[in-house]
Structures are given as C-alpha cells and as structure tokens.
C-alpha cells in the first residue's frame, strides 16, 4: 500500500471530517440515479482538480458501448440542467453531457511505489425520500431536493468518504510512495458502471483495488468489517417477445400471442429446479403486454434477473432461463430477444489486504469493533467485469493471483498478471 509519513489518517479525519459531512449533505440534497450523476461528477472533479489530482472525465472515463440502459435524451438533458441549477461548475459538468458521468483521478507521489485504486460509487436510487422527522436527513434539513430520487443506499456517504481519503493523500503528497487512483463510478445500481470504466483501461495499471459499502450487515456506527463474503453473481435481461396481431373475434387463429408466450415463460422460470451445489435466485420484476381489448397481443416484454452464490450457479440459472424463454417462444410461434442489461460476478477479498485494513483500523478511535466476517447476500458492481455479455464473461473470483486459473481473460487476466489484490470491505470511516 502507498505510505505517507506526513499526517496520519487519524489526523486527516479529525481535520476534514466536518467538511466531509457538508460534502455528504450537499450530495444527498441532489441525488441522481444511474448515468445521470451530473451533480456528483462535477462536485467531485472540481475538488480533486483543486487538490492537484490529474482528473479524467466524460468519454475518457466511460465507454459508450457499455452504457447499458441509458436514460432517454430528455431525461439526460433535464438532469444535466438540474445539476447546473444546483451549482455544479460548468467546466467539470460539460464532459459528462449525454450520460458520460464518473471521475477518474490520479495523484502520483514523489517516491516510487505501487498504484492503489480506490473505487466509490456515486449514483442514487429511484425512490422518493420520506419526510418523516425520524429520518435523519429530514430532521437535519438535508433531504433530497430531486423528487423521485434519493440516496437510500448510502452512495452519497461513499462519495464523501472517497473525497476525504483523496484529501488525505493530497495533504501528504510529498511523502506518498507510489500513486493513488480514485474511481468515482456511476451506475452501480444498474450494475454496468464498472464495466464502462474498465473498458477504458482504468484498472489496467492497478496493483491493488479497494471498494466498500456502508451499512449492510453492520447496523451500528463504529463497526467495520473487511472480510465481506457471500456476494451473489447476477445477470439481468430485458426479454422481448414478438408475435402477430389479429382481431380476437374475426381471426384469432391467425394471431401469434406474445402475451401467452411471456406468461408461459414467467411461470416456468420460477419452476427451474434448484441446484444441489448452492443457492440460486430468479425474479421477473416487470411484465408489459398487449394493446387493447380485441387484438391478439403481438408484443410482450419483461425484465428478469438470475443470481447464484457462485458464477457457475448463476450461469446454470441463465442457461435454464434461456431454454425456458426460447421454448415458450417456439410453443406459440413467436420470436424472442434476450438483451443483457447488467451483470455482476462473485468477488472475494484478498486475505493480505484484509490484514492491512484491520491493522490500520485498530489505530482509529472512530472504530469501535472489527467484525471478523459478514455476509453481503446481494450483488455488487465493484467486480471488474470485462464483458457484460454473460455468455462470454470470465468465470472468476476477484482474488487474482498469478498461479490461478489460466483461462482468465481481459482485465482480470491483466490484474492477475500483475498480481493485483482486490479488497472489499466497509470503510474505516464514514460520514453522516
């Protein structure tokens, strides 16, 4: 890990903590979801540039062909304008126009050493925030000002924590050994922001990669955990059935009913046999079909996801789901498309990094207890997924060591060749 001999992390937290709370509250007031994080992008970039970081933005950061589920042009424009109105600096905002949100920033020390990546996600959720006075942001007056959007997963805290850490390294640049690279990643919630940054080569030069999340299994401030396990691999698809519309009374036999195909697929997706080797999940979250009373529906669409506690188990679910969907299409004479919408792989933290993090955490007065291990029981986009097409994705864990699976490809292989260690934990400090 890069070391400094200047201000200790403990001192940096003490000095900058009140400012970090204000950053978090500013971010909380202006939440924007996946590919629309314009305010956060400009907010972060302006500060990092002022602190001496080499800041990359826009198309230097995000690969256009990895922008899955990009919002429509009108939404992109209105959220861009919202960020401007909220006070975002236009110079740092402009490169993000069109959904090219996110920031990569590098600080090089004057002494040789490794390159350490720190990844923080910046997107909000698409939910309305409660006005209930028992809710901390409502009581303290920093509730969301963007109707329908709110930071309910804590990514505003992640972003402010990342800035606090970046400030620590900037304060100690003269004694920094190696380099630090901050990846403020968009679109974690829809699980394709990491792939878009990786495609641009931003993890290729890393020796270590650290990510984290507040809350989760740890419910009290002062508890931290670096050995987070039980991630779930995930694949999401938009499924579209197309049939033939006809009059439901005059010529029903000439129709091809897309709704029937979709409904048959949905009920049979839930009937996929469980796997003996571990837990799996499946869900169809939306279903839309048909047009009016008397027309055989020619269109039916649903959104589905599969998960597994290993990449292989998730692949089993994807394979079976594909058989069910294609089978249903054949049964009703339909065509069908399964469009990949997101993917996350299972990740595993490096024991060496866990030991380093625990050693540092013990020196921090804000840490009350180090929890030895905790389950995640969900999916996370911190995984360096090279390819978002689940049929071609590498089947790997993230603890990349040179002597492991020779089939590794893409970024994972490059990380492995460099013996990059990956860590995922709960930050040793967070701001509220």
Binding region for Zn ion (CB under 5 A) = 153
Q: Specify the residue, 158 or 397, whose C-beta has the smaller distance to Zn ion.
A: 158
| 3-class secondary-structure state, position 224 | strand
CB atoms under 10 Å from CB of 44, counted, come to: 29
DSSP-derived pairing of the beta strands 228-229 and 374-375 = parallel
Quick one: 153 or 164, whose CB is closer to Zn ion? 153
Q: Name the minimum Å distance from CB 424 to Zn ion.
A: 12
d(CA 341, CA 130): 29
Q: Which is nearer to Zn ion, 125 or 306 (CB)?
A: 125
User: 203-214: string of b/e by CB count within 10 Å (b at 16+)?
Assistant: bebbbbbbbbbb
Comparing CB distances to Zn ion, the nearer of 370 and 426 is 426
Residue 419 CB contacts under 8 Å (≥ 6 apart), including other chains: 207, 400, 401, 402
- Give whichever of 53 and 424 is closer to Zn ion, judged by the CB atom: 424
Closest CB to Zn ion among residues 153, 354? 153
Minimum distance from residue 54 beta carbon to Zn ion (Å) = 27
How far apart CA 195 and CA 121 sit, in angstroms, is 13
Least Å distance, CB 421 to Zn ion, is: 22
CA distances from 127 to 67, 153, 383 (A): 22, 11, 25
Which residue of the chain is nearest Zn ion when measured via CB? 153
Report residue 238 as tokens: 């938009």
Taking the least distance from each CB to Zn ion, the nearer of 1 and 218 is 218
Q: What is the CA radius of gyration of the chain?
A: 23
Kindly state the smallest distance separating residue 158's Cβ from Zn ion, in Å: 8
- Closest CB 141 distance from Zn ion, rounded Å: 24
Q: Name every residue whose Cβ is closer than 8 Å to that of residue 120 and which is 6 or more positions away in sequence.
A: 155, 158, 159, 161, 162, 182, 183, 184, 185, 211
């Amino acid at each position: 890990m890069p070391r400094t001999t200047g201000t200790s992390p403990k001192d940096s937290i003490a000095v900058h903590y009140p400012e970090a709370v204000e950053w978090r509250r500013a971010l909380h007031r202006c939440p924007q979801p996946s590919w629309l994080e314009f305010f956060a992008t400009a907010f972060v970039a302006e500060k990092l540039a002022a602190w001496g970081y080499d800041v990359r933005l826009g198309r230097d950061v995000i690969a256009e062909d990895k922008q899955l589920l990009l919002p429509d042009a009108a939404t992109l424009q209105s959220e861009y304008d919202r960020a401007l109105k909220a006070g975002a600096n236009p110079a740092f905002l402009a490169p993000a126009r069109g959904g090219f949100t996110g920031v990569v920033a590098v600080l090089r020390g004057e002494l040789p050493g490794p390159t350490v990546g720190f990844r923080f996600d910046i997107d909000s959720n698409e939910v309305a925030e409660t006005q209930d006075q028992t809710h901390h942001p409502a009581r303290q007056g920093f509730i969301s000002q963007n109707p329908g959007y709110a930071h309910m997963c804590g990514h505003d805290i992640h972003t402010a924590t990342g800035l606090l850490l970046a400030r620590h390294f900037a304060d100690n640049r003269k004694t920094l050994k190696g380099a630090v690279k901050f990846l403020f990643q968009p679109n974690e919630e829809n699980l394709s922001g990491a792939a878009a940054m990786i495609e641009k080569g931003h993890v290729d030069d890393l020796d270590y990669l650290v990510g984290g999340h507040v809350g989760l299994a740890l419910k009290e401030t002062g508890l931290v955990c670096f050995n987070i396990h039980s991630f779930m691999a995930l694949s999401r698809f938009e499924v579209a059935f197309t049939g033939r519309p006809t009059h439901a009374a005059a010529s029903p036999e000439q129709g091809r009913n897309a709704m029937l195909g979709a409904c048959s697929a949905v009920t049979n997706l839930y009937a996929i046999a469980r796997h003996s080797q571990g837990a799996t999940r499946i869900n169809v979250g939306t279903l839309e079909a048909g047009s009016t009373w008397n027309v055989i529906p020619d269109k039916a669409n649903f959104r589905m996801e599969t998960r597994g506690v290993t990449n292989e188990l998730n692949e089993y679910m994807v394979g079976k789901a594909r058989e069910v969907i294609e089978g249903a299409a054949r049964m009703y004479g339909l065509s069908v498309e399964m469009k990949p919408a997101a993917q996350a792989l299972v990740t595993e933290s490096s024991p060496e990094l866990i030991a380093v993090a625990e050693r540092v955490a013990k020196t921090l007065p804000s840490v009350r207890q180090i929890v030895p291990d905790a389950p995640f029981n969900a999916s996370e986009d911190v995984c360096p997924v090279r390819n978002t097409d689940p049929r071609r994705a590498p089947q790997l864990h993230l603890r990349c060591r040179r002597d492991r699976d020779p089939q590794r490809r893409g970024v994972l292989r490059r990380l492995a060749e460099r013996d990059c260690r990956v860590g995922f934990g709960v930050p040793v400090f967070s701001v509220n």
